[in-house]
Structure 1
Amino acid sequence: MGNRLTQIATRTGDNGTTGLGDNTRVSKNSLRVHAMGEVDELNSHIGVLLCEDVPDDVRQTLVEVQHQLFNLGGELSIPGFELLKPEAVLALDEALATHNERLPRLQEFILPAGSRAAALSHVCRTVARRAERAVVALGNEEAIKDTPRQYLNRLSDLMFVFARVFNRMNGGDDVYWKSERLKQAAD
């Protein structure tokens, strides 16, 4: 691929519009641009998570996720185009099965806490959910493929599982929610 970003500050967006991959211009407040922004933010949060010490297999999965999120962003930027393939969802399903089977079954709700890597993974999980909502909103207004929504849904699940993996890396555990009602019932 040649040099695509030869000029960063083009000033073409100063009027509140942005260019899509098909050269159309839309409002920066459009549902499509919101969805693209949420996916971009998610990718950035995963980049921050990758600054942490995480297992090599998880690192490889997260780097692949970053590439797939770039594909998703590209797909969102070109109406009617498909870059994110269903195989990407299957890869997340496989990672989910592999990592979840190593974890103890959850008996209680857990807090988005624990180690720094686990907390960052929970942030990625919530941003993935927000990106999913943005893609669903876009899909309610315009025709989009099913794969982007499915990918983000599965990715948020995987980030939850990774948070649990990270909390156990150095002998830790999940941080369990203690409901006041449950506490009162036990007393």
Structure 2
Amino acid sequence: MKIYTKTGDKGETSLVYGQRVSKNDIRVEAYGTCDEANSQIGLALSYIGATNFDGKEEWGSIFHKIQTWLFHVGAELATPEGKKVGWTIEESHINEMENQIDSWEQQLEPLRNFVLPGGHSAGACLHVARTIVRRAERLTTMVEDANPLVLSFLNRLSDFLFVAARFINYHMGENESILHQEYK
């Protein structure tokens, strides 16, 4: 199978089930942004590859699920109105992310300041992924028939990535750069 099809050479692409749309269609923007976030997560994971810390294997397993679910979100967004895709985001996925956030936060110092993105390369990449997910979320609000759980998932995923960045920075011995103004 060839990787290039030449069917997109004139600014159109296919949704799931073959419907042709412009590459600037909001669905394409939304699922393309999910793909961008997924790639950024992959980059973060590549920086962790050569490191060692307690729970690294579990970390990889958690992120494999997250990347798979984010791929599923993209598939849902790439599916035209009135059609169904073979997998969907479920409330249990969101609950699992929330539980993981809570678990990580128990190991971290409570937030007293705003955290500036950065730290270990993996942590910095997760912060970038978080902002890309926020963009995907904003774009998804414009997809008229989007599964409401997709919006919840994206919203929670950005929180998950924020805490994951803090968690990996902590485990890599990187101090967080904070905005020197307390909030209450």
TM range (shorter): 0.7 to 0.9
Number of the residue aligned with 1:117: 122
The match for 1:126 among 131, 134, 139 is: 131
Which residues of structure 2 form unaligned runs of 5+? none
Using the size of structure 1 for normalisation, the TM-score is: 0.86
Q: Which amino acid is 1:76 matched to?
A: L
Q: CA deviation at 1:26?
A: 0.5
Measured in 2, the distance between the counterparts of 1:43 and 1:125 equals 10
Q: What fraction of aligned residue pairs are identical, expressed as a percent?
A: 36
**Residue 142 of structure 2, aligned match among 125, 137, 145:** 137
Distance in 1 (CA, whole Å) between partners of 2:124 and 2:20 is 38
**Distance of 1:114 and 1:144 partners within structure 2:** 35
String of CA shifts for 1:29-88, please: whole Å, max 9, x gaps: 000000010000011011111112262222211111111111111111112425222221
Pick from 20, 26, 30 the counterpart of residue 31 of structure 1: 26
Work out which of the residue numbers 85, 93, 112 in structure 1 matches 2:90.
85
- Secondary structure of 1:109's match? strand
Residue in 2 that maps onto 1:74:
75
After TM superposition, the structure 1 stretch with the greater mean CA deviation from structure 2, 29-38 or 46-55, is 46-55
Task: Work out the CA distance in 2 between the residues paired with 1:145 and 1:153.
Answer: 13
Query: How many residues were matched structurally?
Result: 172
Change (3 A) 1:31 1:170: closer
Is the radius of gyration larger for structure 1 or structure 2? Answer: 1
More strand by share: 2
Please list, as runs of the form range in 1=range in 2, the aligned pairs for 1:151-170 lying within 5 A after superposition: 151-170=153-172
TM-score, length-scaled by structure 2: 0.87
Instruction: Point out where structure 1 has 5 or more consecutive residues left out of the alignment.
Output: 1-5, 183-187
In the alignment, which residue of structure 2 is the partner of 1:185? none
**C-alpha distance in structure 1 between counterparts of 2:136 and 2:156, whole Å:** 12
Aligned 8 A contact 1:164 1:173 in 2: no
